[in-house]
Structure 1
Amino acid sequence: MTATAPTRPAPPRRRPAERNIPRQETLRGRLRHLRYRASPQQVFAELFEKRWMEPAIPVALLAGVIVFFSIAAPGFASSANLLSTAAELAEMSLICLGMAVVMISGGIDLSVGAMFGLTNMVAILLITVGGVPVVPAILLTVVAGAVLGSLNGVIVAYLKARPFLTTLVTLIIFRGVLNLLDLHFSAQTASVFVTDPVWEWFGSGKVAGLPFSFVTLLVVLVLGHVVLSRSRLGWHVTAVGASRRAARHAGIRVERVLLFSYVAAGALCAVAGVFYAARLSSASARVGEGFELNVLTAVILGGISLAGGKGTVWRAFIGAATISLLGKGLLLMDVGGEVLQTVLAVVLIVAVGLDTKWGKNRGKAIQKTYVNPTLLEYGPLEDIRPGSGSPFEINDRLRDAEAIGLGQVEGPEDVIVDDQGRVYCGTRQGWILRFSGPDFGTREVFARIGGHPLGMAFDAERNLIVCVGGMGLYAVSPDGKHRKLSDETDRTWSRLRDDSRLRMADDVDITPDGRIWFSEATTRFDMADWILDGVEGRPNGRLVCHDPKTGRTRTVLRDLVFPNGVCGAHDGESLLIAQTWLCRILRYWHSGPNRGRLEIFMDNFPGYLDNINRASDGTYWVALNGMRSPAYDLAMRMPKFRRRMMKRIPRDEWLYPSMNHGCVVKVSEAGEVLETFWDPGGEKHATITSMREHDGHLYIGGLENNRVGRVRLS
């Protein structure tokens, strides 16, 4: 394409104004800006992006059950009923947690009800018939539950039997053993009186007014969450459930993981059995009968996938609470058991259907609402055509640029030269290349970092400081060894989205005091879709400072619109910050009497700004990676139009049609344009993103280039 622009007179260059003040100063203009600045759509997208929003349907159903029965069932919301329900809920939830672990690992355990009843019987028999003290009896009962679970685990994991059939058979076996024990010891287990204080504590003890069993459940929930989400064992359980073959290829011992899940299920059933035995002081063959169906219903209702690899302990608890409260509420309303089972079946079908729909459409809803354009307004476009007299007038001074590493480099976003005259640049492969020798004919891989190396700067020890897109801030020593300096900063607690991780560290510079200043262009988009930040136009970026002396990284300025280039000013007290989509340069005073002040240095550039670097004569070099057009300016004033267009037409065909125009601008300390270097049409240097002056030459890099350019300066 050739560069085109409206034939308008060039506006005068103004001295910087204070702060980022909208151009529309009328009341109507301010209200319009405020309307688009407020973003309920963005709040919706970020809220539904949270992982804790996945069980939205089960949580809504649980809330509905509580509200309905609090109104319809007399005594449901009373403290006495809630305390008794908490004790019963604890027992059922422990069993559900065991079932959840097995299902997350890709299995199923239909014997949990039988194990619960059998361990309940074992606890009573150990104390009454065996005469075992309470504490050893409790421990032996838990061990017995683990042994029962291990029987399932050995058959499923090592004998490769199907979990459904295996646990169905062990259900029959465990239930048969329970019937035999009940037949022989029914007199001893029908009613038990144990005066041991530990036994009474397990049955009716309270902590802070809550049943001890419920407090134990909370502890187990926290431990289970930590194990499943923060430990290697938990990751292995999820990986095995997602794909046993992939897990085995990754070196995970699948059999051990499966065995662990079934042992955990058995132990949790035993803990529930102990609490049940202590609370009722009795045991019978009817305990836990048909319980596996209720447990399976609760776990599926909570959102634990039958296919494995998906679920949390909290979701299992939500399902258990829903089923337990539903049963208690229907009981208070004097509804029979047959009706209860029918209601449970209907609730399960409806809830699972809604949860499935929610799971499928939640991602689509986030995708459709995540990009939320706002209102941006610019000053008049300058006439940049040859002969216009504009300071940005097009020329061809880059067409004869010398090519370094032609065809040997991909996407050298930034370029830098060391004190020996060697040229460094990053590539899409995550490498940093170094060109040296006569005519820079020697190419070597200086470092392999990963990500996409963007901005670069040398510190006082000649370490190369690099912003790596998707990874953070890194340092490369003179011998090519790299280390991470920082990949996170302080979080913005007023936002739903956790922005502590550095998603797109962009350009970097180092001030005389040794502090490293760098920009994060956007906290909402990654390297693969950073261009969407331009469609949105919101202040998603920030200025970050890393102090090597303390190792601390902190956010200095928030709410910047795509801060791209960062350059320490010649005065040593301020920084220049290029805002790409605002076509503006800011000056931030980090030291001196104006410390903390933020002002506009230059405004209304005819193109999108990228990196800034110091020139040798007290001026600055600025890269324009593309040019504005009347269509672009109009589109940025119409957020709704941009939202519709981005769903129908590729962005580079309507919003960024001039991204292939290369331009380097030289500006003075007073904010005046001194000269420009153009490559019309981007024949050799398209999408110029950086330039670096060294020893009478200007070195040029570009995100879409296959070379590093070199131009002799007069």
Structure 2
Amino acid sequence: MSMAESLVRWRYRLLPDHVVGEILTKKWIDSVIPFTALVILCAIFGSIVPGFFDVTTLTNLSGQTAELGLVVLGMTIVMVSGGIDLSVGSTFALAVLVTLYGMNVEQWSFGTGLLACLGLGVVCGAINGFLVGFLRMRAFLTTLVTLIIYRSTFDIIFPHVSTAIVTSGPDSPAYDFLGFGTVWGVPTSFAVFVVIAIVIHLVLSRARYGWRLFAVGGARRSAYNAGINVRFTLFSAYVLCSVLVALSGFFFSARIGSAASDIGTGLELQVLTATVLGGISLGGGRGSVAKALMGTLFVLVLSNSLLALAVPGPVNYLILGLVLLLSVLLDVRWVKNRHKILRGVYISPTFAKMPQSISTAPGAPMAVNDRLKDVGVIGLGFLDGAEDVIFDRQDRLYTGSRQGDILRFQPPHYTQSEVFAHIGGSPLGMAFDRNDNLVICVAGMGLYQVSPDGEVKLLTAETNRSLTSVVDDSTMKLADDCDILPDGRIVFSEATVRFEMHDWYADALESRGNGRIIVHDPKSGSTRTLLSNLVFPNGICTAFDGQSVLFAESWACRISRYYFDGPKKGKVEGVIEGLPGYPDNINRASDGTYWLALMGMRTPALDLSLEMPGFRRRMARRVSEDAWLMPNLNTGCVLRFDEKGQILESLWDQGGEKHPMITSMREHKGVLYLCGIFNNRMGTLPLKGADPSWFSSDSYWGKKP
């Protein structure tokens, strides 16, 4: 190995570039900018504003946070649903007016005053919600009009009751406790606000209603097609927003005890600045309570600090406007380019040196031939996405489809089929357990089981999280192939933890150890990872010795053996290195050997590029995906090898007419059945000299009467 090659190898081993992309994909990454801005703002004003960190200042700030925070949370709910409410300031003013008049002048009880205030919020929100949600009017223009209407209503009524409000006072201990009391040293209003914020967080992140809000805001038509009542969801969002605004007005009234004629003026600017700066998307479908709170604190710290420095009110609003403009610019640019940025950073190729390829020259066991050119055909033009094939004890054939169905074909000609079970996703590798339950790996969904009666059951979709992973890798992304151990445990491969099934070529471009081998115990329900850092582990097969499993690593072009029992328990040994193609499924053969599918062939250009990770990174960022170097999956092959890894024979379709791609094969009663996930058929090849009575499940569990 040359010095240059050693340096490149160690550079990509010691500096894992993919960590940057994984960090940027985390949900909290959108909160980094507002959090950083808040910290910098506090550091700046904390050094120049007298008494910035005094208890009195912080107490006053917490009370303001409760009031402005409720309005921001209301706006967050509306913006998450894809709308906007410009009438929050006017609604706030009306809520303050109703509360002060009722509590000060009419001497209402605490409960009556609160219900009247919240009732006002329901009415204002219902008007907005009806116009926007049910009449489908534009949210911006609609709420701009209601802003004017609500403000005009306030301006008409306030002069007639202002004197009575100022010259009277409330007679409610609970009302006074809300405005001036403390709970564990913090203002009562702030404590109540914290409880409300937690509830809203749980609703948005855990409850069905919150998911519907995000669905409507992210893709309104798709949400409608999914059965969500879009109009009612929008209506309820505006009602909730106005109720929270009214509650904020109630808090404000209890704390201040009076109101000016300009109450609520400019509140829209503060609220919009807080929400957008906090990372609540103007386009809908993105936001959180934590982001809203950070935006609220930023606006309050900025406004209060500018007032403490005697900055005039118009200048204060000018600065808030500029901050809002910058926030909108960042939001629009980030939403528009986020996918491109993440795509360019997330894909992080590593150094990989491929071993010398096994010879395919004439006379060698891997010599190219046309033994597959005359195979029989099953399901021509009907099958789509048949990645694997398996048989039950009644000789019925099972395979998956791209539509998420498990199809069952009837013997002996396999021309009649039925949907045995519908799972969804993309069914891949399959195996029968001792009780004739069909175990299936489903890409993007996990490991499933289908009973002989067709009952579908999820076995597992999670495993233990690795301690060194930046992102949570406990959820399975691409469960690939499975087999059953003698004690009933299910061992299966997960090809990659970083990419979905449709992004397999990105994993090939990286060629790093993104995959793992997992074991699930149906008896205890436990799932754990056996091996990690594997290069796209694919096919897996329990060996005849009953102590080990064979598994394929596609992009590394090798077969390895893992011992789960016996003297070598926990060890991994190489079986075949330097395959001329990319190995896929492995299955038992009737003579004690193994069948292996090669889904595609290696190319010199791609092999060479694996030693140049910088080149592959530039290609991923600058070239469209359809022009990337990627594995050649247009020519497949089937080979047979023994326990020692010696290749005994190979089967090719050199012209690529019958089976250009082969992802799996299964020997059954003297016939080899061939699958290809991109093919529109299944192939059959009679095997000379094979046991015509051999059935794969018998080799696992023995014959049954």
Question: Taking structure 1 as reference, are residues 380 and 326 closer, same or farther at Cα in structure 2, changes over 3 Å only?
Answer: same
Determine the C-alpha separation between the residues in 1 that align with 2:386 and 2:134: 53
User: Are residues 1:710 and 2:685 paired?
Assistant: yes
Determine the C-alpha separation between the residues in 1 that align with 2:135 and 2:639: 72
1:443 deviates by: 3.9
Q: Is the 8 A contact 1:585 1:601 kept in 2?
A: yes
For these two proteins, the number of residue pairs brought into alignment is 687
Q: Is the 8 A contact 1:42 1:370 kept in 2?
A: yes
Counterpart residue number, 2:430: 456
1:414 deviates by: 1.4
Q: Is the 8 A contact 1:116 1:269 kept in 2?
A: yes
Q: Deviations over 1:409-431 (max 9, x none)?
A: 23432122333333332233333
User: Are residues 1:518 and 2:492 paired?
Assistant: yes
| Aligned counterparts, 1:319-398, within 5 A | 319-387=295-363, 390-398=364-372
Counterpart residue number, 2:99: 123
| Aligned counterparts, 1:286-305, within 5 A | 286-305=262-281
Q: Is the 8 A contact 2:673 2:682 kept in 1?
A: no
User: Are residues 1:261 and 2:226 paired?
Assistant: no
1:91 deviates by: 0.8
Counterpart residue number, 1:414: 388
Determine the C-alpha separation between the residues in 1 that align with 2:402 and 2:152: 65
Q: Deviations over 1:248-296 (max 9, x none)?
A: 5655444433432232222212221222222223334343233233323
Determine the C-alpha separation between the residues in 2 that align with 1:336 and 1:385: 86
Q: Deviations over 1:111-143 (max 9, x none)?
A: 322332332233333333323333443344333
- Structure 2 residue runs of 5 or longer lacking an equivalent are 690-705
TM-score, length of structure 2 as denominator length: 0.88
Determine the C-alpha separation between the residues in 2 that align with 1:234 and 1:521: 33
Determine the C-alpha separation between the residues in 2 that align with 1:167 and 1:356: 22
1:571 paired residue among 545, 553, 562: 545
254-263 vs 577-586, greater mean Cα deviation? 254-263
Letter of the structure 2 residue corresponding to residue 138 of structure 1:
L
Secondary structure class of the residue paired with 1:713:
coil
Determine the C-alpha separation between the residues in 2 that align with 1:63 and 1:281: 33
Q: Deviations over 1:629-683 (max 9, x none)?
A: 43333221111222334554867885434x3333222222223223333333433
Letter of the structure 2 residue corresponding to residue 375 of structure 1:
F
Larger RCO of the pair (alpha carbons < 8 Å, separation 6+): 1
1:473 deviates by: 1.8
Counterpart residue number, 1:663: 637
Counterpart residue number, 2:509: 535
User: Are residues 1:429 and 2:403 paired?
Assistant: yes
Q: What is the identity percentage for the equivalent residue pairs of Structure 1 and Structure 2?
A: 46
Determine the C-alpha separation between the residues in 2 that align with 1:46 and 1:335: 43
Counterpart residue number, 1:11: none
Counterpart residue number, 2:251: 275
1:310 deviates by: 4.5
Q: Is the 8 A contact 2:386 2:676 kept in 1?
A: yes
Letter of the structure 1 residue corresponding to residue 393 of structure 2:
D
Q: Deviations over 1:178-210 (max 9, x none)?
A: 456554444553376668553343223344543
| Aligned counterparts, 1:613-632, within 5 A | 613-632=587-606
103-112 vs 523-532, greater mean Cα deviation? 103-112
Question: Taking structure 1 as reference, are residues 269 and 638 closer, same or farther at Cα in structure 2, changes over 3 Å only?
Answer: same
Letter of the structure 2 residue corresponding to residue 712 of structure 1:
L
Letter of the structure 1 residue corresponding to residue 493 of structure 2:
S
Q: Deviations over 1:433-463 (max 9, x none)?
A: 3344344444444334332221111112222
Q: Is the 8 A contact 2:505 2:630 kept in 1?
A: no
Question: Taking structure 1 as reference, are residues 591 and 250 closer, same or farther at Cα in structure 2, changes over 3 Å only?
Answer: closer
266-275 vs 137-146, greater mean Cα deviation? 137-146
Determine the C-alpha separation between the residues in 2 that align with 1:560 and 1:618: 27
Q: Deviations over 1:589-643 (max 9, x none)?
A: 2233433223323323232211111223332222222233433332211112223
1:550 paired residue among 524, 541, 555: 524
Question: Taking structure 1 as reference, are residues 681 and 170 closer, same or farther at Cα in structure 2, changes over 3 Å only?
Answer: closer
Determine the C-alpha separation between the residues in 1 that align with 2:458 and 2:222: 30
1:535 deviates by: 1.1
Secondary structure class of the residue paired with 2:66:
helix
Secondary structure class of the residue paired with 1:518:
strand
1:689 paired residue among 657, 663, 678: 663
Q: Deviations over 1:499-536 (max 9, x none)?
A: 33322111110112111111111121222121221111
1:82 paired residue among 41, 58, 63: 58
Determine the C-alpha separation between the residues in 2 that align with 1:343 and 1:321: 16
Letter of the structure 2 residue corresponding to residue 143 of structure 1:
G
TM-score, length of structure 1 as denominator length: 0.87
| Aligned counterparts, 1:118-267, within 5 A | 118-154=94-130, 156-157=132-133, 163-164=139-140, 166-168=142-144, 170-179=146-155, 182-190=158-166, 197-241=173-217, 251-267=227-243
Q: Is the 8 A contact 1:565 1:578 kept in 2?
A: yes
Determine the C-alpha separation between the residues in 2 that align with 1:255 and 1:703: 42
Letter of the structure 1 residue corresponding to residue 590 of structure 2:
S
Determine the C-alpha separation between the residues in 1 that align with 2:407 and 2:220: 41
Question: Taking structure 1 as reference, are residues 122 and 140 closer, same or farther at Cα in structure 2, changes over 3 Å only?
Answer: same
Question: Taking structure 1 as reference, are residues 212 and 41 closer, same or farther at Cα in structure 2, changes over 3 Å only?
Answer: farther
Question: Taking structure 1 as reference, are residues 106 and 359 closer, same or farther at Cα in structure 2, changes over 3 Å only?
Answer: closer
Question: Taking structure 1 as reference, are residues 422 and 153 closer, same or farther at Cα in structure 2, changes over 3 Å only?
Answer: closer
Q: Is the 8 A contact 1:202 1:279 kept in 2?
A: yes
1:396 deviates by: 3.4
Secondary structure class of the residue paired with 1:578:
strand
Determine the C-alpha separation between the residues in 2 that align with 1:246 and 1:670: 54
Secondary structure class of the residue paired with 2:361:
coil
| Aligned counterparts, 1:469-480, within 5 A | 469-480=443-454
Question: Taking structure 1 as reference, are residues 76 and 567 closer, same or farther at Cα in structure 2, changes over 3 Å only?
Answer: same
Determine the C-alpha separation between the residues in 1 that align with 2:154 and 2:502: 60
Question: Taking structure 1 as reference, are residues 477 and 376 closer, same or farther at Cα in structure 2, changes over 3 Å only?
Answer: same
Determine the C-alpha separation between the residues in 2 that align with 1:640 and 1:243: 37
Determine the C-alpha separation between the residues in 2 that align with 1:394 and 1:245: 52
2:75 paired residue among 99, 110, 134: 99
Q: Deviations over 1:33-52 (max 9, x none)?
A: 33213455322222222333
User: Are residues 1:405 and 2:382 paired?
Assistant: no
Counterpart residue number, 1:675: 649
Secondary structure class of the residue paired with 1:54:
helix
Q: Is the 8 A contact 1:607 1:626 kept in 2?
A: yes
Secondary structure class of the residue paired with 2:310:
coil
1:552 deviates by: 3.0
Q: Is the 8 A contact 2:107 2:171 kept in 1?
A: no
Determine the C-alpha separation between the residues in 2 that align with 1:668 and 1:333: 83
